[in-house]
Structure 1
């Protein structure tokens, strides 16, 4: 089994997108996006060698694979990395694709004196990784988990530190770009605390796209490709940050309608999930950067 192979970008887009679509569509008539999770280790895919968390579309790909296979742990590594850790991937186990992007400088001579006009290009390299559930001979060190009350308090402080004005009134949750304000129903309107913070974070996610923050396209109307792309980006963002906070990310009541629109976007454009995941990771990084204490970000 090879630990890595060089592939063309189109192949990477197609392979990863196909795995994510498969995870969404599996099940008895009930689509489930892989960025919904229970807040445990499986929600925070981590590399066994570096101890760092995967980022962007790699997180989605590993969420999708973990959901499809029913894994209970988010620890992953290449064949060689597991060997280096003293473990062995079992024969016949199927790998999951992750992508490493490298920026390289391409030189192009512009005259006879040897001067070159350097251009920087991004190249994709695909790696095959395996979950800890697919190996023998590895014992995961115990990791402490904060009590739920502390995790919820952390979520409250995390959202407050974003500096996005929130008004608690009415029965609908939404972000209004014209006033840069989030509207939220009161806490008692939600089935549990995780749902409350998940929706609040989702709406604050839209606020990260304002002109004076990350400047995403927030003009799309419901049913349009732009609207679906923004919703997909923010749902992934919510999954990323809630995983960092150790809080479950529940599907919203209108989940089926949204997922149907996401699947159409992904099937029409294999690169769409890469774009959405990249923007979601950018927004997650922005949110973490607003916190008063430096937080370790994955690489």
Structure 2
């Protein structure tokens, strides 16, 4: 395949996945919902049936979109071949969901094949794959999984956030991160409708703090209303969804999401790669948060 055809195929992947995400946001706009809001169950943690590994970055977002649209209740996914190897059969007529596998480009390949890099050290390209949910197959029985009681999940969330080492000051009526003092400001617990909302907002603001220069060094200088600000908000909302899914806690829309929805859609429509970038940065921040947790020997 020529480099021009490869570039066109990759652009189609970006456009296709972004279009599905935009459609999901617009469909739920009346309730100010986006694909990264979830109920904290297994469907929020998309996992591959063959490897047992969790999907990451934009693939998680794409599978959240598909699960929401089709009302799936389980987060187990696989390709047609993977399901067949698992002894199951994808039902005839079932519609696949597109995910992306990133592969490293050989140094000898032309520069215009780049899909992204890591400070010039890696050059990657995207290859699309079609996957199906466990609800779309016959002949597969999901092994039972243990679910921790809510009290244990919330205690885990409290410890998880404490381990981040980000200063938090409680009181007042607003939640925000102040870069100049590297401090998160949060209303008291009683100000929130439930514990899930409290931890979601706290993780959202800690998500902004993860971008500080001495952490992940994202640009936090843009003000409300700019495309860069909307992209940062989108990033930390996906981050909240990722981490809350890891903790088994639901992620509900915040009261102020109405102010962000239109700007998110505008950014995504202007640049089909924007959601890939936001999801990639969200995954990087989630990885950083997990790296702050004590290792269990």
How big is the shift at 1:181? 0.2
Structure 1 residues 204-229: Cα deviation after superposition (integer angstroms, max 9, x where no partner): 00000001001111111111111101
Deviates more, 1:128-137 or 1:18-27: 18-27
Question: Is residue 169–residue 186 contact of structure 1 (8 Å, CA) maintained in 2?
Answer: yes
**Counterparts of 2:231 and 2:292 in 1: how far apart (Å)?**
25
Report matched runs for 1:8-47 at 5 Å: 8-27=9-28, 29-47=30-48
**Counterparts of 1:120 and 1:273 in 2: how far apart (Å)?**
20
How big is the shift at 1:6? 10
Question: Is residue 32–residue 253 contact of structure 2 (8 Å, CA) maintained in 1?
Answer: no
Report matched runs for 1:75-154 at 5 Å: 75-107=76-108, 121-154=123-156
Report matched runs for 1:155-234 at 5 Å: 155-234=157-236
Report matched runs for 1:270-281 at 5 Å: 270-281=272-283
Is 1:62 aligned with 2:41?
Answer: no
The residue aligned with 1:239 is 241
How big is the shift at 1:260? 1.4
**Counterparts of 1:200 and 1:283 in 2: how far apart (Å)?**
14
Tell me, what secondary structure is at the counterpart of 2:255?
A: coil
Structure 1 residues 53-100: Cα deviation after superposition (integer angstroms, max 9, x where no partner): 000000000000100111100000000000011111111110000000
Structure (1/2) with the larger helix percentage: 2
**Counterparts of 1:193 and 1:19 in 2: how far apart (Å)?**
31
RMSD: 1.9
- Provide closer, same or farther for how the CA distance between residues 187 and 31 of structure 1 changes in structure 2, counting only shifts above 3 A: closer
**Counterparts of 2:148 and 2:291 in 1: how far apart (Å)?**
22
**Counterparts of 2:267 and 2:55 in 1: how far apart (Å)?**
24
For structure 2, the residue ranges without an aligned partner over 5 or more in a row are 1-5, 110-120
Question: Is residue 266–residue 273 contact of structure 1 (8 Å, CA) maintained in 2?
Answer: yes
Query: Normalization by structure 2: what TM-score?
Result: 0.91
Task: Report how many residues are paired.
Answer: 282
**Counterparts of 2:7 and 2:71 in 1: how far apart (Å)?**
29
Q: Which runs of 4+ in 1 moved over 4 A?
A: none
- Provide closer, same or farther for how the CA distance between residues 278 and 120 of structure 1 changes in structure 2, counting only shifts above 3 A: closer
The residue aligned with 1:114 is none
Query: Normalization by structure 1: what TM-score?
Result: 0.91
**Counterparts of 1:294 and 1:280 in 2: how far apart (Å)?**
25
**Counterparts of 2:7 and 2:143 in 1: how far apart (Å)?**
33
- Provide closer, same or farther for how the CA distance between residues 212 and 52 of structure 1 changes in structure 2, counting only shifts above 3 A: same
For structure 1, the residue ranges without an aligned partner over 5 or more in a row are 109-118
The residue aligned with 1:264 is 266
* Higher-Rg member (1/2): 1
How big is the shift at 1:8? 2.3
- Provide closer, same or farther for how the CA distance between residues 28 and 177 of structure 1 changes in structure 2, counting only shifts above 3 A: closer
The residue aligned with 1:250 is 252
Structure 1 residues 11-30: Cα deviation after superposition (integer angstroms, max 9, x where no partner): 11101101111111124844
- Provide closer, same or farther for how the CA distance between residues 250 and 27 of structure 1 changes in structure 2, counting only shifts above 3 A: closer
